[in-house]
Structure 1
Amino acid sequence: MAEGKIINLMKYSIHDGPGIRTTVFFKGCPLSCLWCHNPESQCLGQELMYWPERCIGCGQCLEICPHGAVTVIAGKLAYRRDQCQACGACCKVCHAGVRELAAKTMSVREVMAAIEKDLIFYDESGGGVTFSGGEAFMQPVFLLELLKECRKKEIHTTLETCGYVNHELLHRMSAWVDLFLYDVKLMDSQKHQSVTGVSNELILANLRWLAEHHPQVIVRVPIIPGINDDQETLQQLGEFVASLQRITELHLLSYHKAGSDKYQRLGRTYQLPDLQSPDNERMGQIKGQLERFGLKVKIGG
């Protein structure tokens, strides 16, 4: 059975598709959105998250680290991220939770065992499993085996995707997905590249294909103040989604900075420290504007 890197497995989720769900967060993403609230999911490789304020100074990490990533400066333990290989040796001996690996390697069997524990909740609520990330398509072999296992056991599957995926891979795997939650950030390709790191041409082309060939697709738009909430962008977005075959539902996700502290834990800098979440009134205004295109618009997942 295939193995994959999972950053989290969240039970009893009600925001990632219909009913009560288990959401499986894959590691790895081709985008690097400035507002990403799961930065630990961006890099496909293993990473180490660091909470120096938890340190009790026991020194066990200093003794066990094989790469010289732990040292002593001015009488205190210090972490040298440039030397760290994210091997996890220090995590195993630290009882204070100072360091933690960002992902866990799991087999298809292990993930399915966790999913199947909640079958009764899926059956009663019309729920199932949602594969999210990061971007689940970054681990295609692992994802496909999980989708096939879910199909065998009649578990409803939802796939949340940024859409930046090879055409052939999307076409081949779409038959195993019951529902797509498809993220659209911006319509302007250059601006999209400036805030996510990639053009949106492939993303929009894949969405057009899904709209013609898959029966269940919901477009999701993160509302990021000052980036994609202006009148022109919303007009372009409404026109585009309304032009898609069979897609009538659009979900608006309000920006939040709940994951901003993770950047510090990963040794990175959060690029939008002063950005505030849009208030309920503003989200309502955006909802009303997009509803004029004949779309069913919902605030939240």
Structure 2
Amino acid sequence: MSVIDTTAEGTVFDIQRYSIHDGPGVRTIVFLKGCPLRCRWCSNPESQAPEPELFFRASACIGCGQCVPVCPVQALSKANPGFVDRSKCIKCGECTKVCPTEALKRTGRRMTLAEVMQELRKDAIHYRRSGGGVTLSGGEPLMQSAFAKQILMACHEQGWNTAMETTGCTTREVIRDVIPHVDNLLMDIKAIDPAVHQANTGVDNRIILENALIAASLSPNPVVRVPVVPGVNDNEREIGAIAHFATLMPKVSTVHLLPYHSFGENKYTLLGRQSPMGATKDLRPESILPLKAVVESAGLNCVIGG
């Protein structure tokens, strides 16, 4: 029997309360850092690296210079494009401690299971009243599989519903170890064509698809989620292939089509990076109604958004 270890640690970059998506009822979402994929449309680029990172918000900087002398590697200077020399920055966070306006902010911090549970208990009454619970997201939560499992087990000990949003990009052993603790599995599938997947996420999708079949058999309520992205999979051929694959996944009856949005574009600027999607326009929900019809023609329920 697995033992809950309240001293177990992981890296969390956000805890979002009062969500009504990503599982039933009112939920709290724990975002774990680290992801093996580099999806061009990623709306949480700060989630990709496993270690904490540094945000710099130029509009909030008052030029006081208090951060410059405390940087141990001299990575901060008005002479640097974007102020922060990312090639030098070791992401220690010393500069954030003296920044009076939070123009410099560290994203991601180590937390123990006890600390995470302390935050989650604040919303326990909402879980009970709404049939909600806790969702693990990322990044890819299975990159921190041992910590993710500890959170899930601790939530079940409290009687809370658990959910996880995952790409399935991990080992079969991790899938078999962690997914049985997930009540509502939100399985992200970006593309079936391996060339399309490789070109737009940086990784091959063979193990992802194999793991999707295994994971769906291990969770009582699996749902397939598809980010619909212009120029990637916003066509009937790719969505049709995903829908067909979903029919092969045990217990899957519903597919969520998630229209592309650029809400996270400013985060690339904060990280000193350019968004890979450039000026790609958001997709309106009504624009993907034909794709919804494709999914439904495969005998599946289809929800736009979710």
**What band does the TM-score fall into relative to the shorter chain?**
over 0.9
Q: CA deviation at 1:72?
A: 4.5
Tell me the amino acid that sits aligned with residue 276 of structure 2: Q
Q: Which runs of 5+ in 1 are unaligned?
A: none
Aligned-CA RMSD value: 1.6
2:24 corresponding residue in structure 1: 18
Task: Classify the secondary structure of the residue corresponding to 1:64.
Answer: coil
Is 1:131 paired with 2:136?
Answer: yes
Contact 1:70–1:77 under 8 Å retained in 2: no
Contact 1:15–1:300 under 8 Å retained in 2: no
The one-character-per-residue Cα deviations of 1:203-227 (angstroms, maximum 9, x if unpaired) are 1101111233432111000010121
Between 1:244-253 and 1:178-187, the stretch displaced more is 244-253
Tell me the amino acid that sits aligned with residue 19 of structure 1: G
What is the alpha-carbon distance in structure 2 between the residues aligned to residue 43 and residue 279 of structure 1? 30
What is the alpha-carbon distance in structure 2 between the residues aligned to residue 159 and residue 78 of structure 1? 37
Q: CA deviation at 1:230?
A: 1.3
Q: Which runs of 5+ in 2 are unaligned?
A: 1-6
Q: TM-score, normalised by structure 2?
A: 0.94
Task: Classify the secondary structure of the residue corresponding to 1:91.
Answer: helix
Tell me the amino acid that sits aligned with residue 240 of structure 1: F
Is 1:240 paired with 2:245?
Answer: yes
Between 1:44-53 and 1:154-163, the stretch displaced more is 44-53
Is 1:46 paired with 2:52?
Answer: yes
What is the alpha-carbon distance in structure 1 between the residues aligned to residue 103 and residue 222 of structure 2? 41
What is the alpha-carbon distance in structure 2 between the residues aligned to residue 119 and residue 185 of structure 1? 33
2:72 corresponding residue in structure 1: 66
Tell me the amino acid that sits aligned with residue 203 of structure 1: I
Is 1:215 paired with 2:227?
Answer: no
Moved >4 Å (runs of 4+): none
The one-character-per-residue Cα deviations of 1:98-132 (angstroms, maximum 9, x if unpaired) are 11111121111111011111111011111000000
What is the alpha-carbon distance in structure 2 between the residues aligned to residue 31 and residue 72 of structure 1? 33
Is 1:55 paired with 2:91?
Answer: no
What is the alpha-carbon distance in structure 2 between the residues aligned to residue 147 and residue 212 of structure 1? 18
Contact 1:220–1:253 under 8 Å retained in 2: yes
Q: Count matched residues.
A: 300
Tell me the amino acid that sits aligned with residue 95 of structure 2: C
What is the alpha-carbon distance in structure 1 between the residues aligned to residue 219 and residue 155 of structure 2? 18
1:291 corresponding residue in structure 2: 296
1:78 corresponding residue in structure 2: 83
Task: Classify the secondary structure of the residue corresponding to 2:72.
Answer: coil
Task: Classify the secondary structure of the residue corresponding to 1:35.
Answer: coil
1:146 corresponding residue in structure 2: 151
CA change 1:79–1:213 in 2 (3 A) is: closer
CA change 1:77–1:253 in 2 (3 A) is: closer
